[in-house]
Amino acid sequence: MKYIQFKDTNLQASEIALGCMRISGLSEKAVDRLIGTALEEGINFFDHADIYGQGMSEEVFGRAVAKTPGLREKIIIQTKCGIRQGYYDFSKEHILNAVEGSLKRLKTDYINILLLHRPDTLMEPEEVAEAFTKLQESGKVRHFGVSNQKPLQIELLSKYVKQRIIINQLQLSITDTGMIDSGLNVNMKNSASLDHDDSILEYCRLKDITIQPWSPFQFGFFEGVYLDNPKFPELNKKLNEIAREKGVRNSAVAIAWLLRHPARMQPIVGTTNPQRLIDICKASDVELTRKEWYELYRSAGNRLP
């Protein structure tokens, strides 16, 4: 497993992170095994949110980590807050209360990274700044980031908060490449040239903000997995072809495609199957050529101008 360092931090994070959204439905034994497998494969970064499993994902994870003395200091825990039932809430009060809840469920006295979960159009950045400062000064949160935010949303937030935004968690996979398409189809009038995200990919690279692709095996908005899916025959043909050449599974090739990008992304993989996780982690040792990267891009139905 290779590791990355977030800008202006001392965090050495595995370039592949384990997303814990689905672990709330697992048995205690299964959670222990999944975490153990992740650690054996070199994963030290675990992604949570207060809404995952209505808090149960954080709770079962916290119980599992507490069983091993000293483990907490060896791992990086990231969680998110801001989504409530039917609305978003970036108020100071909610952020502070949400963190207290996460700390209790995770059985820890600090969170390595806190993300604001999706944009809140009613955000008052002064309140967010007060919350961030209080959390940092108390030692309860060490670093901060966002998810699904565009450049000017991050700029607005950054005008008020004194903490650096180190992460932006965004949907990205071989089949959901909007932020890449618009950067390739410049000065064009086709649909791929539409920039829905204000050049978020280039912005994050300019600002040294690490992009964390979520749902890297999904197509659409949770419509399904594209791997071995008959809806994507050309893509799977190419994935399997490269997988055979590299001696890995197609899932590793799909993650290697993200890792190949010079933006130095950190994919969040959400499998709860230990063997699948082992297969996926082999992506850290797979090096795709520029030709292979573009072949996969085009096999997903994308056209180069």
Q: Over the stretch 255-291, which tens digit does the pLDDT of each residue have?
A: 999 999 999 999 999 999 999 999 999 999 999 999 9
Q: What is the dihedral of CA 237, 238, 243, 244, to 10 degrees?
A: 70
Q: What is the pTM of this model?
A: 0.97
Q: Is 52 a catalytic site residue? A: yes
User: In the chain, what are the domain boundaries?
Assistant: 3-299
With 0-12 / 13-18 / 19 or more C-beta atoms within 10 angstroms meaning exposed / middle / buried, residue 32 is middle
CATH class given for the domain over 3-299: alpha beta
pLDDT band at 221 (very low <50, low <70, confident <90, very high): confident
CA distance 31 to 298: 38
Asked if residue 304 has pLDDT above 90, the reply is: yes
- For tokens 């520029």, what's the residue? 290
What is the per-residue pLDDT for 222?
80
Asked if residue 223 has pLDDT above 90, the reply is: no
Q: Over the stretch 168-215, which tens digit does the pLDDT of each residue have?
A: 999 999 999 999 999 999 999 999 999 999 999 999 999 999 999 999
Alpha-carbon distance values, 208 to 16, 145, 172, 182, 203 (Å) = 18, 12, 18, 20, 8
Q: Over the stretch 14-68, which tens digit does the pLDDT of each residue have?
A: 999 999 999 999 999 999 999 999 999 999 999 999 999 999 999 999 999 999 9
**Which one of 52, 203, 226, 297 is the catalytic residue?**
52
What is the share, in percent, of the chain residues with pLDDT greater than 70? 100
